[in-house]
Amino acid sequence: MNVLSQIINGLHIGSIYALVALGYSMVYGIIKLINFAHGEIIMVGAYAVYVMLVLVGTPLWIAVLVSLLFCACMGMLIERVAYRRLRNKNAPRISLLITAIGVSIFLQNLAQTIFSSSGKSFPNVMPQGSIRLGDAEISALTLITLATAAVLMIGLQLLVSKTKMGKAMRAVSEDAGAAKLMGINTNVTITWTFAIGSALASIAALLYSSAYPLVTPYMGSTLGLKAFIAAVLGGIGSVPGAMLGGFLLGIAETLAKGYISSVVADAIVFGILILVLLIRPAGLLGRNVKEKV
Amino acid sequence: MAKLLETENLGIAFGGLRALSDVTLEIGRGEIVGLIGPNGAGKTTVFNLLTDVYMPTEGTITLEGKSIVGKKTYQITRAGIARTFQNIRLFKDISVIDNVKIAMEGDMHYSALAGILRLPSYWREEKAADLRARELLRVVDLEDFADAKAKNLPYGQQRKLEIARALATQPKVLLLDEPAAGMNPTETQELAEMIEKIRKKFDVAILLIEHDMSFVMEICEKLYVLDYGMVIAQGKPEDVRKDPKVIAAYLGGNEDE
């Protein structure tokens, strides 16, 4: 495989990382919580598509829509049931973090109870075929993944920068107390953030499962961890940062697998993360916020 | 003047510490009222109670005859009480005009989908909000800085932006927490004129906390003096300034002014 193909493969997996990383980053930006249950939303989304396509037998678009809505509701439900009370009682951040890990374990075990721990094979629903670009061959799935990710990211960027919800989100993330005093219902804004992040994860789940067609109760943890790293790499809390981090991580990982060794690929990727953070502790696009004393 | 905002026997204790007791205030429609007192007297705490940042332990707060105790902060803002902060709390990394538009959230109704897809409702509401925001910036002389980030404004203008942002919520009562703090005499004079203009233009009552006495004496029609969490004097500025209790509170018992 030549370099171009490797980079295209890197962009493919990277755009999936980026979609998931956005969820981590948005939630962190708004309530300073690393939502470890976010990875499990991917798993939930993948099972939702599986159930609709294989068990119920609906067409793809209905399955995608159901999965999207189910994940969005799941994200909002998690926020409502597990986090909101802690937030309103001003619980220390570590309590929220532990709760998030708890939710993550709960969802994994729930999936295991319902679907058993053996993996389900994900049906092949994406168009086949490929096009040539110079020396590289790009599969239809890669094209679809890249296009979908691009559209979603542009949509999100528009939402955050140009609409009232986006402005409310930025205001809450900067100063929730002042936002309330300007008439913003912060709980609704936070709920929206979870819904949007989870909806993006459900699309990532579909794209990921189409490339690696095995759905298991634990699929969310590795993918979630990588996406979290992408978010940190790009600067957690920053929307463009999450996108950049996702693409960089994907490309670094594919190049390491292709040219060095697939065994140590992860080690190399994590090494890059450590290096970047040593030089830029807030991530590539993150800002170092100095506390005033 | 008709009563707009009233508190009766308002009090709050933080654990064993009694921060305010028996605070009874009355603000009429379109009135400019000053809340003064030495540092730590509880002035900002009054603001925090009026906007339900804290729940009072006793007493009532009514806006246009309706109790607002126990409502959510954002609901109180939408009901008509807006404020600025002693330590400026703008959304620093957001543009000046967006700071103002954020405060209009309560009046905008288009859905998220309409926002992403740019449906007509989005354009209509955003355009109206944009016009209104620019109008507000003109009132506080910030229209030329609409697209700058809030943190890049000089200090005095950040204070003015806080006022514009508070006005964007369409308040009936505007609470200003030390609006003249850190301003030089010229800026303070401009601010006094601006507050007068705002009161007329927006038909809003203003309750302000301020330490600059000449400023307070110039623009306020009524003063309340707080000391150790209690109202020790109230009335017209010229009467309050002669009140021996007020002089004692400010000068620690030394009565030669």
The pLDDT > 90 percentage for chain A reads: 71
Mean pLDDT along residues B32-58: 91
- Give me the DSSP letters along chain B: --EEEEEEEEEEEETTEEEEEEEEEEEETT-EEEEE-STTSSHHHHHHHHTTSS--SEEEEEETTEE-TT--HHHHHHHTEEE--SS----TTSBHHHHHHHTTGGG----HHHHHHT-HHHHHHHHHHHHHHHHHHHHTT-GGGTTSBGGGS-HHHHHHHHHHHHHTT--SEEEEESTTTT--HHHHHHHHHHHHHHHHHHT-EEEEE-S-HHHHHHH-SEEEEEETTEEEEEE-HHHHTT-HHHHHHHHTT----
| Residues in chain B closer than 8 A to A178 (CB atoms) | 85, 89-91
| Residues in chain A closer than 8 A to B73 (CB atoms) | 180-181
Mean pLDDT along residues A15-37: 94
- What is the CATH class of A3-279? mainly alpha
Q: Do A159 and B112 touch (CB under 8 A)?
A: yes
Look at residue B77 in the predicted model and tell me its pLDDT: 92
Average pLDDT of the residues of chain B: 90
CB count in 10 Å sphere of residue B34: 23
Mean pLDDT along residues B124-133: 92
B108 touching A (Cβ < 8 Å):
yes
Assigned token pair, A2: 């030549």
Q: How does residue A255 score in pLDDT terms, banded at 50, 70 and 90?
A: very high
Distance to chain B for A154, nearest Cα, Å: 9
pLDDT in tens, B102-121: 999 878 888 877 887 888 88
The pTM for the full model equals 0.86
Distance to chain A for B18, nearest Cα, Å: 22
Mean pLDDT along residues B16-43: 91
In one letter, which amino acid is A274?
I
Domain parsing of chain A, residue ranges: 3-279
- CA dihedral of A160, A166, A172, A173, whole degrees rounded to 10: 0
Q: Strand pairing partners for B5?
A: B27, B63
pLDDT in tens, B70-81: 899 999 999 999
| CA atoms of A262 and A253, how far apart (whole Å) | 9
The closest CB to that of B112, out of A165, A171, A179, belongs to: A165
- Sign for the pseudo-dihedral over CA of B61, B63, B68, B73: negative
Residue to mutate among B44, B73, B119, with most A CBs inside 10 A, is B73
| Residues in chain A closer than 8 A to B91 (CB atoms) | 170-171, 174-175, 178-179
Mean pLDDT along residues A190-203: 96
| CA atoms of A92 and A129, how far apart (whole Å) | 52
Look at residue A1 in the predicted model and tell me its pLDDT: 63
**Residue A165: closest C-alpha in chain B:** B112
The architecture in CATH of the region B1-80+171-257 reads 3-Layer(aba) Sandwich (3.40)
Mean pLDDT along residues A240-249: 93
Distance to chain A for B233, nearest Cα, Å: 29
Look at residue B1 in the predicted model and tell me its pLDDT: 47
Look at residue B255 in the predicted model and tell me its pLDDT: 45
pLDDT at B145 over 80: yes
Mean pLDDT along residues A2-12: 91
Look at residue A152 in the predicted model and tell me its pLDDT: 95
Domain parsing of chain B, residue ranges: 1-80+171-257, 91-164
Look at residue A216 in the predicted model and tell me its pLDDT: 95
